[in-house]
Amino acid sequence: MAWHGMAWHGTVWYGMVWYGMVWYGMVWYGMVWYGMVWYGMVWYGMVWYGMVWYGM
């Protein structure tokens, strides 16, 4: 019983940790990736627009 309980608790615990890691990882990396792409687009857009504007 104790072993089974420990194994079950371990499975649930590791499952929760794994699911939490995957979920938070997806959200965190998704936010970071989206932020990088968004800020990258804005930054390059500003630089490109500035180059074209000042170039003209």
Task: For the chain, give the number of residues.
Answer: 56
Using DSSP's 3-state secondary structure scheme, residue 53 falls into helix
pLDDT tens figures, 7-47: 777 787 778 877 777 777 777 777 877 788 888 888 888 87
Token pair recorded at residue 3: 């072993």
Structure pTM?
0.32
Contacts of 36 (CB under 8 A, 6+ apart): none
HSE-CB of 22 using CA atoms within 13 angstroms? 5
Cα separation, 46 vs 38, in Å, equals: 12
